[in-house]
Chain A
């Protein structure tokens, strides 16, 4: 028999990642809070109200790419996971695993960028750790951040709260982050001016909650992309989701790379976009509020939550046909013909 091994695809954020968490991690750590598998755990903390808590590791390669770097990512990613619970992020911790020989100057550039991102997100980095490993035991620099935030009263945001009739809102064009990193990696001899969308979304979420505190679900489509987060919401809420291809913004340069490599833009990672599910009645005022925020200028309604086909995401195509959007399986690879 072949022994099971951890593959790169287990880290791609799609179906295999979910399967690994459910099969290996949940049985050991299982509890009410973890079982929700939302972006943050939300729990009551006596007088302080409800807190949101989350953690994430960053291993991006290369460390620097147009529009961001591992430091900015490490702050924004964790801030965004908190924001997706409707929380106001407050404090982060940051742990660094550094490969011996790593240039101090580069480390300082990363720290500076974390400082800037933390300032933008109005969070403080209040705890940290540093480990240095032998050369070859890590690739340059890995960062793990954890974060806590407070959830305002009346805000109840969870993947399972999506309801038939709700509208689905996307905050802007998809795919920029993954393509920017791909180009920066130089593996595909691609050239282009694509910048990562890496940004802290808590300001946008705060504005959204002021306008529409009744938002049901929020997700940031990072690894696995738009298709995978919608599939998560459909699964958690036991509803179906229909989105319209015509309404989903993808920049022309992203589309061109997708065509060249055979990628589907709905599976590309983003680091500064969000998907909101809200009651139909609140959708229009929410979209117009989002559009007045610098990170939501191109927000629009892209679809609806329905009763039919629970657990499934259906895409209505440009020519009026339809197809199922499954979660990402494995990693996307360039096609060969």
Chain B
């Protein structure tokens, strides 16, 4: 694992632990964007997975709060162990713990009766939209995250990403060219 990525993930896990203990799902959601720069540049699974886990946790906490429940204490324990593993350069142990954590989140999700799109899938799509917003194409983003373009486009369309800086093209020229191609009468 690149040292920059490791440092960023350790920092993010430290903050995540504190926010999970406080049940602060809003800050947790914001925190999940902190490895998006790394994910966009390095396109490594570790940055992406960390962002997905933290985002998924924010959604689980939000829902369990609404139901007057608390998040499972073992999740915090696993986050701590994952952080410690990385601090001690035990990368494989870290990755195993993150996989177990994702499984546990998915199981929590089942109990909340998500049907079409479980919270992990949703987390991948949401983080994917952020990566695309940083300059990676939709298809490449979908490939990195293991999701399909349909889901990603469906989500991006509802964000303001396309409104922030049009990168190329003159609308009138494009329209005029299309009309010529299809012989649209003036």
Co-complex (A, B): no
| Residues in B lying within 8 Å of A, measured CB to CB | none
